[in-house]
Amino acid sequence: MADIKDLRVLIDRIPYAEGNLGEEAILASLLQDLRRIGVNKIAVLSNMPERTQQRHGSDIKVIADHKGMWWRLPEIVKAHDILVWGGGHMLQDRSSQLYIPYVTKNLMLARYFKKPRFIYAPGLGPVEADFGKWLSRLAIDGSDTIVVRDVESEQLLRDCRVRSDIQVTADPVFSLTTEADDISTARERKAPVIGIAPRRHFYRKGNVLPVSMQFASGKQENPQFEFFLQEIAGALDQLILQDGAEVQFLPMDLGPNPRDDLICQRIRQFMVYGEKTVLYDDDAPLMEFIGRLGKLDVLISARLHGIIMGMRFGLPFIGIDSDGKIPRLAGKFGVGDFVVIDAELRKEGLYDMARRAVNENHELRTRLAAQNKEISNQSRQNYDFLEGCLNNLAVT
| Structural domain boundaries, residue 344 | 181-375
Does residue 359 share a domain with residue 381?
no
Q: In the predicted model, what is the mean pLDDT of residues 279-294?
A: 95
Does residue 159 share a domain with residue 252?
no
Does residue 185 share a domain with residue 173?
no
Q: pLDDT tens digits, residue range 192-217?
A: 999 999 999 876 555 555 555 554 44
Confidence of residue 371 (pLDDT cuts 50, 70, 90): very high
Does residue 210 share a domain with residue 110?
no
Average pLDDT over the chain, rounded to whole? 92
Does residue 232 share a domain with residue 286?
yes
Does residue 360 share a domain with residue 234?
yes
Does residue 210 share a domain with residue 101?
no
pTM of the model: 0.93
Q: Which pLDDT score is estimated for 265?
A: 97
Does residue 166 share a domain with residue 31?
yes
Minimum mean pLDDT range among 38-47, 125-134, 198-207, 221-230: 198-207
Does residue 156 share a domain with residue 185?
no
Beta bridge partners of 43: 10, 61
CATH number where 134 lies: 3.40.50.450
CA dist., res. 84 & res. 68, Å (int): 23
Highest mean pLDDT: which range of 10-24, 182-196, 231-245: 231-245
Q: Which pLDDT score is estimated for 221?
A: 61
For residue 74, give the nearest of 109, 42, 118, 49 by alpha carbon: 109
In single-letter form, the type of residue at position 225 comes to F
Q: Which pLDDT score is estimated for 68?
A: 80
To the nearest 10 degrees (0 to 180), the angle between helices 260-270 and 223-243 is 60
What percent of the chain shows pLDDT beyond 70? Answer: 93
Does residue 386 share a domain with residue 366?
no
Cβ contacts of residue 170 below 8 Å, gap of 6+? 121, 149, 150, 375, 376, 378, 379, 381, 382
Q: Which residue has the higher pLDDT, 247 or 396?
A: 247
CA dist., res. 225 & res. 202, Å (int): 6
Q: Which pLDDT score is estimated for 212?
A: 53
Confidence of residue 165 (pLDDT cuts 50, 70, 90): very high
The pairing of strands 82-85 and 193-197 is unpaired
What percent of the chain shows pLDDT beyond 90? Answer: 79
Does residue 101 share a domain with residue 61?
yes
CATH number where 239 lies: 3.40.50.2000
CB atoms within 10 A of CB 2: 11
Query: Integer distance in angstroms from the first to the last C-alpha of the chain?
Result: 6
Beta bridge partners of 91: 124
Does residue 249 share a domain with residue 279?
yes
Q: Which pLDDT score is estimated for 186?
A: 67
% helix, strand, coil for the chain, step of 5 = 50, 15, 35
**Statement: residue 305 has pLDDT above 60:** yes
Q: Which pLDDT score is estimated for 18?
A: 85
Q: pLDDT tens digits, residue range 93-110?
A: 877 888 899 999 999 999
Confidence of residue 181 (pLDDT cuts 50, 70, 90): confident
Domain total for the chain? 2
